[in-house]
Amino acid sequence: AGEPLSPHDVAVAAERRWSYIVGAVIALLVVMMIVTGLHWASMPPSRVETVDVKTLHLKGEFVEGNLGTVLEPDGRVVVRLVAQQYSFVPQCIVVPAGMPVTFRGTAVDAIHGFVVGTTNANTMLVPGFVATFTTRFRQPGEHLMPCHEYCGTGHEAMWARVQVWP
Ligand code: CUA
């Protein structure tokens, strides 16, 4: 003790210090990967349902003749819609007041979204994914339904109309 450290001892101490720092950085990255993985694993199922953009208009649920409001055999009211630059199909959606209405929508070209007036009906529409939610319109009336995700030069002119019938 009391003897001056040799250059070798100094180098060993420095290397040990740096190995602790590198170990801490690796541990931090591993924790970040685990936390991010758990976060995505716990996302709601609306992000998981996928649809093929290339065949969307040719076959399956979102062909043009199948869009709009239908009363399903099991009694549910379902609205299917597609967003594209720069319109919604259909342009006018009629729904009944006071009962649950399920929206199912997707987008063909860019990320779009919509909100129905001042109600809580609000979602993003992402190409390749089916967005779905169920809501209830309490009051009869008419709402504007604008696209609320910037989707290009025609974004501000992209909107539809929702009529809530008594
Ligand atoms: Cu579609 Cu903005």
Q: Which atom of ligand 1 lies nearest, measured to the CA of 152?
A: 2
Q: What ranges do the domains of the chain cover?
A: 1-42, 53-165
pLDDT of residue 47: 55
Query: What tens digit of pLDDT does each residue of 19-67 get?
Result: 999 999 999 999 999 999 998 887 765 557 899 999 999 999 999 999 9
What CATH code would you report for 53-165? 2.60.40.420
Question: Quick check: CB of 124 below 6 Å from ligand 1?
Answer: no
CB contact set of 50 (below 8 Å; sequence gap of 6+): 128, 129, 130
Residue 101: which of 124, 82, 120, 129 has the closest Cα? 120
CB 56 within 8 A of CB 82: yes
pLDDT of residue 1: 58
Question: Quick check: CB of 158 below 6 Å from ligand 1?
Answer: yes
The answer to whether residue 74 scores a pLDDT higher than 70 is: yes
Question: Quick check: CB of 18 below 6 Å from ligand 1?
Answer: no
Residue 143: which of 120, 166, 165, 116 has the closest Cα? 116
d(C-alpha 62, C-alpha 39), whole Å: 30
Its pTM stands at 0.72
